[in-house]
Structure 1
Amino acid sequence: MKTFQKPLTAEEEACYIQNLQKGSSEKAREAREILIERNLRLVAHIAKKYQNVDEDMEDLISIGTIGLIKAVASFDASKGKLSTYASRCIDNELLMLIRSKRKTSKEVSLYEPIGTDKEGNEINLLDIIETEQVDVIDRMELCSDLKKLARLLEKLEGREKEIIFLRYGLETGREVTQREIGERLGISRSYVSRIEKRALGKLKRGFEKES
């Protein structure tokens, strides 16, 4: 266990956001990495809310980090705080993960039981959505480190990497459906799904290997 770096001050955050949006490519890349790394406490905290929903914590951390990456990429400083916006993006990614695991012929209800809290009380998706967000957490495993995820993404094969970046909007902030990706690449939706699953498996194994 290692302690996360402290969150940025409001002034520091504003400076890095300015560099991200208007600085040179080098400054923008550096600002992006710092904004993500210094907000990893937020990812860890939100992921902990889902630890009783029968999902592996490493999966929750990696998917939550994707939400953070998307938040930084698409954030508009004129519309509020980064932490508030990022919280919604992280929650959205984790909720999509849960829905995809539980998906049947019907949509998942916000009132559908998805687990229990530490006191044994039943919780549902609505409980999680309405939970007040906290910006900090003291400790979480090193596997959530952004630089590790970035290294693992770079190790994916060409088509795997392309599909993951499109699917989760890692560059544009806009998610692309499997069907849209299939049409763009000239392959079937089911083949896109298999490649995506294989790529996520590689990311998970990479986290486990480096932990």
Structure 2
Amino acid sequence: MDIVQPAGGERRANDDYRSRNDELFARCIRLRELLADLRAKVDAGEVDDFSEVALRRTERELEDVTLEIMTANYGLVRRYVAMFTSKCNEHSEDFESAGKVGLLWAISSYDPSRGPFSSWAFKPIQREVLRAVRDADHPNLNPGDFEKRPVILAATQAFSAQFGTDAPYDYADIARRAGTTEAQVRRVLDAPRLDSLHAPSGNSGDEETPWAERLADPSPSVEDEVLLRFDLRTVSDHGLPGLDARERYVLTRRFGLDGEPEEPLHLIGDRLGLSREGVRQIQQKALAKLRGPIAEVA
């Protein structure tokens, strides 16, 4: 059987894409190494005006090359998000923002010796986009059930094709076809519908009160925990240096760590080219990173 080879133009485009990525990541790695050396000098107190200027310049250059890599590889995000969206999908922007977060994770962790970047980036992009899809379209499924949902639906279609669409589901048979448990099949196929928390509760005498106002969460949010337990100086001195430039920017603007007024997610997103949900995800990951270094000095 003949093997179909890419057309000349497509082959050249693929080669150009790989060469461009190789060049950008080589620059990125050099800048990270330089930045690590400069930050080590700062931490050791071996810093002068020249080192401070070099540190800030290197941080800006790393941000610039990261943006170049994002731009060069953004097609990976678009192609994966297209599996879940259409032109009129109201969640397209959030799914793409989630894909950007996955792409950033891939860029920060990529090792060129492990193969092409497009293969490396697939899993982080998939993870973040699937999480956003589940939150938007299937919030009633836990992550494990949502991951198995496609194969369960495929097995259900095969069952209906064999026994007819009017035949009642045999959950054990579908579970065998899908390679899952019968309990998972039941949870996916019979998932309860979740009403909006902003809809009226419907209880007698309280018809106009939304569920969101009646279900108070007694536990502090991650943001409250960080800001209540640690003063801003501790966060700035011991937490922020461990974050990448984008994470530091989001937390600094979100919580006013530079002395300026706190900003809402959507304003920060406008500057970064992200949706509100995309900024929120970066914020959550950055706050999770802060817990370790801050707890050590608490």
Worse overlay, 10-19 or 157-166: 157-166
Tell me the equivalent position of 1:16. 24
Percent of pairs with identical residues: 16
C-alpha separation in 2, matches of 1:79 and 1:46: 21
After the TM superposition, list the runs of 4 or more consecutive aligned residues in structure 1 that deviate by more than 4 angstroms: 103-107, 152-156, 159-164
Tell me the equivalent position of 1:39. 73
Report Cα offsets for 1:2-27 as digits up to 9, x if no partner.
xxxx8853222111101111135244
Q: Structure 1 unaligned runs (5+)?
A: 1-5, 127-148, 170-174, 185-211
Structure with greater helix share of residues? 2
**Map 1:142-181 → 2, pairs under 5 A:** 156-158=253-255, 164-165=281-282, 167-168=284-285, 176=288
Report Cα offsets for 1:143-188 as digits up to 9, x if no partner.
xxxxxx99x959952276897435346xxxxx9389x59x96xxxx
Say if 1:156 and 1:45 are closer, same or farther in 2 by CA, change over 3 A: farther
C-alpha separation in 2, matches of 1:43 and 1:99: 17
Q: Name which structure has the greater RCO, CA cutoff 8 Å, separation 6+.
A: 1
1:112 to 2:229 alignment: no
Say if 1:74 and 1:55 are closer, same or farther in 2 by CA, change over 3 A: farther
C-alpha separation in 1, matches of 2:24 and 2:129: 26
Report Cα offsets for 1:77-133 as digits up to 9, x if no partner.
11111111112111110112234453558554233259x9xxxx89xxx9xxxxxxx
C-alpha separation in 2, matches of 1:39 and 1:105: 31
Say if 1:107 and 1:87 are closer, same or farther in 2 by CA, change over 3 A: closer
The alignment yields a C-alpha RMSD, in angstroms, of 4.3
1:95 alignment partner, one of 119, 122, 130: 130
Aligned length in residues = 140
Say if 1:44 and 1:163 are closer, same or farther in 2 by CA, change over 3 A: closer
Q: Structure 2 unaligned runs (5+)?
A: 1-12, 35-57, 159-177, 179-245, 257-264, 269-278
Find the structure with the greater CA-based Rg.
2
TM-score by length of 1: 0.50
